[in-house]
Amino acid sequence: MSDACCGPSEAAPAADPGRLWQVRELQLAALAAVLLAAGRLIGDDPVGTGLTLTAAVTGAATFVPGALRDLVRGRIGVGTLMTIAAIGAVALGQFTEAALLGVLFSIAEGLEHYAVVRTRRGLRALLDLVPPTVSVLRADAEVQVAPAELVLGDRMLLRPGGRAATDGVIRAGRTSLDLSAITGESVPVEAGPGDVVPAGAINGGGAIEVEVTALAADSSLARIVHIVEQAQDRKGSGQRLADRIARPLVPAIMILAVLIAGLGALLGDPLLWLERALVVLVAASPCALAISIPLTVVAAVGAASRQGALVKGGAALEELGRISVVALDKTGTLTRNSPCVVAVHPAGSATREQILAAGAALEARSEHPLARAILAAVDTVPAATDVTAVPGHGLHGVLGGATLRLGKPGWIAPGPLHTEVEGLQEAGATVVLIERDGILLGAIAVRDELRAEASEVIAGLHRLGIEVAMLTGDNARTATALATEAGISTVHADLLPEDKAALVNRLRGNRRIAMVGDGVNDAPALATAEVGIAMGAMGTDVAIETADVALMGEDLRHLPQLLAHARHARRVMLQNVGLSLAIIGVLIPLAAFGVLGLATVVFVHELAEVLVILNAIRAARGTPLAM
């Protein structure tokens, strides 16, 4: 807890309380309340007074020791104000008020502690997906080892219902994987040899052998938990605003209290004005303000992470809540990222097989989705040499002594295939032309179908009042055809990676913009936008590390749900800050002029803090991400 906040003190136990009644602050508050009640029932005789004083000391035990340690280190916080008020009340003989302050302050402190622990525990529960032991094939024998004992290259044996202890690649067997606890998607994924198995995945089919590719401590699951825990400590602009107000407010309140006591003593009863000064210390304490944002961030980010959305802290969360424009990459974001060859048009005497072979020879080492489609369409891939990429245009190389070029129309003239190329593009296909020694061989049309949920997602974004634009390096006809099918009216095509970044700046204007892409090819645009969102980032180091937000699964419907969730969280933040400032603004003058006594101010102040805590917890429940 920060020195400007009134959360759990340094005296709080290291172990996380599993139940509400196990919170130390609440236990002491309950004991102090019982002692206070007994003292008031007995009356003002020495026994009753002793019990009331004991209640005050018991309640103060939750915050006074920590405040004194902070004071020794030169730090002044909310605990300092409460300590001065409690000691002052006891010195003035107001034992009941001092005890009440301790009871209510401890209750608020304990509730905050428990709320933070509970939301963090939900995140740490992800690590419980890792089984305590795992079956490994070593020296042709099956042995049971702890996940921490796995080494790279080990072969894990996963039977039906078993969980992967770390990341790996299937080497034998076929199955369906349940990734719902990691990505938030309920539909199992079919997997076979060569497919990645992330830590925590449940084997829903036959037995499989999985080669370990990451140590358990470095698995994607452990990395996600680590990043989110770090992210929860990052401060958004709302948190910085709360800090800017709370930090100088504490010494300002102390100065105000001294002035009230000093000037009041010159004008009237010194004890009366000293009492009012103590009441002002409590009334103006910015405890609720200091916890209003971080507790909301912890709750909202934790809820998002449990549904497969990795949000990098308060700054990203708050920016998400202010987004009014979303720029979507086409390939792999709006489309399924599984393109296939839909047509091959020869320009002369070349056959379909010759055209595909020439294309495959150039695309053999490319990572572009179009390359995978062309390679999948041939049985044997000839080896081209001196293959060079021309960014944004295509490839050229040498095969059998002849110079080959493959690229988009415009870089290579379509010639006699002009009509066919236009028709394919208008149908939503991406067309590449292949040329040998300056002579056009033919055209290959590849189409990557829209995701089934694309139209639903765009409609959901529009309902949130968010403007949507498609950004793609593909040609305008293909992009427009797919955009129209998805319900997007703003299309920017024929873009190089650096063009996308520049376009994000132009689209922004005075608005907040989010860029959604794959986290690698769209890195410049992701970095330029207020929020960069990487799709399908499970197991992708670059996407997880560089994006502000990573959607771990492939279901695009998480996007509008995440934006709605962030807007809800931001509303909670603003409500908490507003409530905190309003309480302070109302209580200070009432306390300074003696309208409210210490007991009343303590009750109202701590009630406001409890309301802030309960409201912050709503950030985890308001807008679920799962469909």
Q: Kindly report the backbone phi and psi dihedral angles of residue 548, in degrees, each rounded to the nearest multiple of 5, phi listed first.
A: -70, -35
Lowest mean pLDDT of 25-29, 387-391, 405-409, 484-488, name the range: 387-391
433 and 352 assigned to the same domain: yes
500, part of any domain: yes
190 and 330 assigned to the same domain: no
2, part of any domain: no
1, part of any domain: no
427 and 497 assigned to the same domain: no
Dist. CA 626–CA 455, nearest whole Å: 18
State residue 5's pLDDT score. 44
- What six digits make up the tokens of 7? 């959360």
Query: Does the model's pTM come out above 0.75?
Result: no
The stretch 570-588 carries a mean pLDDT of 88
Spell out the residues 6+ positions from residue 595 whose beta carbon is closer than 8 angstroms to its own.
Answer: none
Domain of residue 192, CATH code:
2.70.150.10
Q: Which of 97, 99, 85 is nearest to 53 (CA)?
A: 99
Share of the chain above pLDDT 70, in %: 86
Q: Which residues constitute the domain of residue 426?
A: 340-447
626, part of any domain: no
601 and 551 assigned to the same domain: no
DSSP code string of 387-439: EEEETTTEEEEEETTEEEEEE-BTTB--GGGHHHHHHHHHTT-EEEEEEETTE
74 and 137 assigned to the same domain: no
State residue 1's pLDDT score. 40
116 and 32 assigned to the same domain: yes
239 and 112 assigned to the same domain: yes
Digit-coded pLDDT (tens) for 533-543:
988 766 555 55
Domain of residue 387, CATH code:
3.40.1110.10
627, part of any domain: no
Domain of residue 464, CATH code:
3.40.50.1000
User: Is pLDDT of 417 > 90?
Assistant: yes
490, part of any domain: yes
State residue 543's pLDDT score. 56
Positions annotated as catalytic residues are 329
457 and 537 assigned to the same domain: yes
363 and 430 assigned to the same domain: yes
State residue 231's pLDDT score. 55
Which of residues 189, 218, 247 is at a domain's end?
218
Higher pLDDT among residues 129 and 551, named by residue: 551
User: What is the Rg, in whole angstroms, of the alpha carbon atoms belonging to the chain?
Assistant: 32
Digit-coded pLDDT (tens) for 310-344:
887 778 888 899 999 999 988 778 888 778 899 99
In terms of Cβ atoms closer than 10 Å to its own Cβ (0-12, 13-18, 19+), residue 149 is middle
307, part of any domain: no
State residue 186's pLDDT score. 58
Parallel/antiparallel/unpaired status of strands 340-346 and 385-390? unpaired
537 and 423 assigned to the same domain: no
Which of residues 558, 588, 605 is at a domain's end?
558
Spell out the residues 6+ positions from residue 19 whose beta carbon is closer than 8 angstroms to its own.
Answer: none
User: Is pLDDT of 19 > 90?
Assistant: no
User: Is pLDDT of 17 > 80?
Assistant: no
| Count of CB atoms situated within 10 Å of the CB of 248 | 12
How many domains is the chain built from? 4
Which of residues 558, 587, 605 is at a domain's end?
558
Q: Kindly report the backbone phi and psi dihedral angles of residue 236, in degrees, each rounded to the nearest multiple of 5, phi listed first.
A: -80, 175
- What six digits make up the tokens of 625? 């991400």
435, part of any domain: yes
398 and 385 assigned to the same domain: yes
547 and 572 assigned to the same domain: no
State residue 187's pLDDT score. 67
- Judge whether 405 and 332 are in contact, CB under 8 Å: no
**Residue 18 binned pLDDT confidence (cut-offs 50, 70, 90):** low
